[in-house]
Structure 1
Amino acid sequence: MNTAEIQALAQAIIHHHGATFAAQAPDGQIDHVQLTAQPVPPALRSEPAYLAALQACSALSFIAVDAETLAQAWQRQAERTNQFDATHWPDDPRDFGLAGTDPAQAFARCPRELGLYGVLPTAEWVGRMARAGVPTVQLRFKSDDRAAVAREVKAAVAAVEGTDARLFINDHWQAALDAGAYGVHVGQEDLDLIGHRDLETIRTSGTRLGVSTHGYAEMVRAHAVQPSYIALGAVFPTTLKKMATAPQGLARLAAYVRLMQQYPLVAIGGISADLFPAVRATGVGSVAVVRALVNAPDPEAAAAHLLERMKA
């Protein structure tokens, strides 16, 4: 197949999916994000379906590692079905290498519906929101003082006692294990820092593991360790932390949910109360919030309102 024919396949993908994945944010419409086309990365294969998808996905604003992951999946989809179908966005786990893992090596399970998920800065906040009925809470305590971290994690574990809240500890996995926390949450960079041996220590302890992801390549990487849940974000722009990737938007979120259905999924990043119904409509079982709770004039009232929005 020549270059013109491959470009025609790429244009067919863009034609069928451009309105979904490359839509620009209309003025005043807050449930969309603005994305820009990306350079086409160097090709690693020569098959037409792969080359066409690599071009198309780059044009549809997917960064290089995600365009590559999608192009590989599109090629596998074509091989599996014996046809190139520009209308079918890849969403079969087999085409992303997400099948065939060993269940015995998976982390401990947690509910598919983690519900409202509060990400909180201190043990005091953890206890406050747990008592307010928030079903899943995370302590995101930033400190290089190991003794201070151990005290705060231990206090957070004590703070949820007598409530039904599930407590995850961000990053500080050893302190979480020492204190008996329900789970640990880590980012992509932490997977390298922790290492296989420490991940195995967490897994064999029965502690749950959540992993942040920001696109297709990171979801595939997270799957390799078979965590308890996967977080998908940032869905919308957020000023809470500097993000290495652009906001994902609802269309990508929905595509990620279709692909990663085998996991409990948490949507995070810039999600305000009015966006809860649209986010929940993608199929995620949990919505994580930070500022919607800690910046609220009445955090308990805000928690009650968000809990109702989870049902909408």
Structure 2
Amino acid sequence: MTEQHIPGMVAAIIAAHASTFAPEGNRLPAQPTPVATSQDPVYLAALQACSALGFIAIDAQCLAQAWQNQSQRTGLFDAAHWPDAPQDFGLAGADPQLAFPQCPRALGLYGVLPSAEWVGRMARAGVPTVQLRFKSDDQNAIRNEVAAAVQAVQGTKALLFINDHWQAAIDAGAYGIHVGQEDLDALQGAQLNAIHASGLRLGVSTHGYAEMVRAHAVQPSYIALGAVFPTTLKKMETAPQGVARLQAYVRLMQQYPLVAIGGIAAEQFPAILATGVGSVAVVRALVNAPEPEAAAHHLLACMR
């Protein structure tokens, strides 16, 4: 391929994938084409096409590099084959000795909850995976709440992850820790080593291709993918990803247990589960429900 082929390749990629990446009939807005890091014609074409399909700069760059790698590996440019091979994203060849401990492939219904009381309620209702997302600047309050959450799941089968507060989670003996992408970036090497040495599982939030590659670098126990749908619970830097992107992410990251998260309601479970994720995380569907235990039972049935 040469520079003269670039416009045709751009058009071919867009034609092949525009309908796929139009979640619920609305394609995400086209993005400016970012700075190229390669002058390979396939890279340049994919960079333009992925930007036109609404992928933000870091994800368009990541996809463009993967498309270049795919073309070099196979010996041909295939506009119809959206990159989904781990080796084309640099995801192959990880050291198992450095990986965080494994957790179940299917974490099932995953309740993200604001307090230890909520954690206990949902664990007793049969929710198999629960996360304490407790927001406070008071370190004593954090330690007490995390310890209370660990106590609250005793006698149940629920697996408890603690959002952000990794030292308190280690001290209290939680099952695992969950961190966002910003929190992962902020962790120093010694802190990450301490979490690894504790034996606790590690889950990481991601919002696109570049963040999935970043998460893979630490080989977490599971990867969360989202936000799939609009959510009012937190200000998101990225637009809702939609089911089509979720499906593409699952094809790429299937070496990990995967959790779909973000604005997911019961009626959307069939489409989400059809992508192959082993877990669906919910917040409002439980904590805003008139009868949370009944809502949990309904969502558990939807998982089955």
TM superposition score normalised by structure 2: 0.98
Classify the secondary structure of the residue corresponding to 2:224.
strand
Classify the secondary structure of the residue corresponding to 1:149.
helix
Cα 1:51/1:247, change in 2 over 3 Å: same
Q: C-alpha displacement at 1:25, in angstroms?
A: 3.8
Which amino acid in the other structure matches residue 47 of structure 2?
L
Aligned to 1:104: 97
2:286 is aligned with 1:293: yes
Classify the secondary structure of the residue corresponding to 2:28.
coil
Structure 1 residue corresponding to 2:160, chosen from 164, 167, 177 = 167
Structure 1 residue corresponding to 2:69, chosen from 67, 76, 81 = 76
Which ranges in structure 1 are unaligned for 5 or more consecutive residues? 27-32
Aligned to 2:204: 211
2:259 is aligned with 1:266: yes
CA offsets 1:109-160 (integer angstroms, 9 cap, x no match) = 0000000000000000000000000000000000000000000000000000
TM superposition score normalised by structure 1: 0.96
Which ranges in structure 2 are unaligned for 5 or more consecutive residues? none
**Contact 2:13 2:79 (C-alpha < 8 Å) held by counterparts:** yes
Cα 1:24/1:108, change in 2 over 3 Å: closer
**Contact 2:50 2:60 (C-alpha < 8 Å) held by counterparts:** yes
Q: Structure 1: which 4+ aligned runs deviate by more than 6 Å?
A: none
Distance in structure 1 (CA, Å) of the matches to 2:187 and 2:23 = 38
Q: C-alpha displacement at 1:265, in angstroms?
A: 0.2
Classify the secondary structure of the residue corresponding to 2:18.
helix
Q: C-alpha displacement at 1:229, in angstroms?
A: 0.2
Classify the secondary structure of the residue corresponding to 1:212.
strand
**Contact 2:23 2:243 (C-alpha < 8 Å) held by counterparts:** no
Q: C-alpha displacement at 1:16, in angstroms?
A: 0.6
Report how many residues are paired. 304
Distance in structure 2 (CA, Å) of the matches to 1:105 and 1:40 = 36
More displaced 10-residue stretch of structure 1: 98-107 or 34-43: 34-43
Aligned to 2:180: 187
- The percentage of counterpart residues that share the same residue type is 73
Classify the secondary structure of the residue corresponding to 2:36.
coil
Cα 1:273/1:24, change in 2 over 3 Å: closer
Classify the secondary structure of the residue corresponding to 2:101.
coil
Q: C-alpha displacement at 1:194, in angstroms?
A: 1.7
How does 1:15-34 map onto structure 2 within 5 Å?
15-21=15-21, 23=22, 25-26=24-25, 34=27
Measured on the aligned residues, the alpha-carbon RMSD in Å equals: 1.0
